[in-house]
């Protein structure tokens, strides 16, 4: 009940902010909220978009403690280059933190044009070694965080009649990789949700788009957790070494992570209604692209079979009733 009351309070407050007062940013400046910007893709995306004159809210946990140095670096960059880049506290696993962050964004900008669900966490080990608590943590960060963030942002975008929900997924959201079972499962789940949102909010002028990076040697590769029940590794033989082989392959990647930030910029700059559902970037692209192409074909058939293809079509303001 407490969670529900917290969510209701912040939703009511953010919508009231939309109704009153003038915007503090230029009418031509798009407002972007990004999760997980302390390092890796998130930080690169924040810097890239800010340098392209977007009003960027770069969110992360523990801005005054564990991530204080990273937060100050972004703030100093904004000051040095005169960027509209603000660092805000946001823990994607906490309802109240999500509500507070969105309320702060609304108080300063009066809108959210783009939400980038980038925060992520990974476990690299045999599935049997992963405890239930670890599995729940994996899904809380990679899947339920998206539920929280979208629920907070969508009332705002619906009021605006426009918006972009963008998800940083992975090739692991389309492929089952030994040693990454729970990470893959969380990304599969996120992609299923993101695609369903694609159909459900399209008629309100809101895009839902998935970005699938290949292997990149970002800091997340050094933060991957191991299974907490290592006794369960017994009897796996050669397979017991597979997670480390996969990790070595990721760490050996020479791909430039800036490619992901550049693709995010390209997606945002693509006119609403013309964006693809999925974009694959990086090594191993053709295989995942084949899966995506076949899935698109089957999904189109499903929508037609249920007679909901028209309802799931993207509509610009002049196309709505």
pLDDT of residue 16: 54
Low-confidence ranges of the chain (pLDDT < 70): 1-28, 285, 321
Full strand arrangement of the beta sheet holding 206-213: 85-89, 55-60, 31-34, 114-117, 163-168, 206-213, 278-281
Other residues' Cβ atoms within 10 Å of the Cβ of residue 23: 14
- Sequence length of the chain is 321
pLDDT of residue 253: 81
Place of tokens 């523990």: 62
Is 199 marked active-site?
no
Contacts of 192 (CB under 8 A, 6+ apart): none
**CATH code reported for the domain at 2-319:** 3.40.50.720
pLDDT of residue 12: 57
pLDDT of residue 212: 97
pLDDT of residue 231: 95
pLDDT of residue 2: 43
pLDDT of residue 1: 40
Q: What would you measure as the largest C-alpha separation in the chain, in angstroms?
A: 65
pLDDT of residue 20: 42
Instruction: Enter the pTM of the model.
Output: 0.90
pLDDT of residue 22: 38
pLDDT of residue 24: 42
Catalytic residue chosen out of the listed positions 183, 197, 216, 279:
183
Pick from 219, 191, 173, 213: nearest CA to 299: 191
């Amino acid at each position: 009940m407490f969670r529900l009351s917290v969510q209701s309070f912040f939703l009511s407050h953010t919508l009231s902010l939309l109704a009153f007062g003038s915007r503090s940013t230029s009418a031509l400046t798009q407002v972007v909220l990004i999760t997980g910007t302390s390092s890796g893709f998130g930080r690169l995306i924040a810097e890239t978009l800010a340098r392209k004159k977007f009003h960027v809210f770069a969110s992360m946990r523990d801005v005054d403690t564990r991530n204080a140095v990273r937060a100050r670096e972004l703030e100093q960059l904004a000051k040095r280059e005169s960027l509209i880049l603000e660092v805000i506290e946001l823990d994607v696993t906490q309802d109240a933190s999500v509500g507070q962050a969105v309320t702060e964004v609304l108080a300063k900008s009066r809108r959210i044009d783009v939400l980038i669900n980038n925060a992520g966490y990974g476990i690299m080990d045999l599935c049997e070694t992963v405890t239930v608590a670890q599995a729940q943590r994996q899904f809380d960060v990679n899947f339920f965080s998206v539920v929280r963030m979208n629920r907070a942002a969508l009332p705002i975008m619906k009021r605006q009649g426009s918006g972009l929900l963008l998800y940083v997924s992975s090739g692991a959201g389309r492929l089952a990789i030994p040693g990454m079972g729970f990470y893959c499962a969380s990304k599969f789940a996120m992609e299923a949700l993101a695609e369903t949102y694609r159909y459900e909010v399209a008629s309100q002028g809101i895009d839902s788009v998935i970005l699938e990076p290949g292997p990149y040697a970002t800091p997340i590769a050094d933060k991957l957790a191991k299974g907490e029940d290592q006794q369960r590794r017994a009897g796996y033989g050669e397979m017991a070494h597979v997670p480390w082989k996969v990790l070595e392959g990721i760490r050996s990647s020479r791909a430039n992570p800036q490619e992901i930030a550049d693709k995010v910029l390209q997606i945002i700059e693509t006119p609403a209604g013309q964006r693809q559902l999925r974009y694959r970037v990086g090594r191993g692209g053709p295989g995942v692209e084949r899966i995506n192409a076949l899935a698109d074909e089957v999904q189109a058939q499903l929508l037609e079979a249920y007679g909901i293809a028209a309802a799931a079509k993207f509509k610009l303001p002049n196309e709505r009733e």
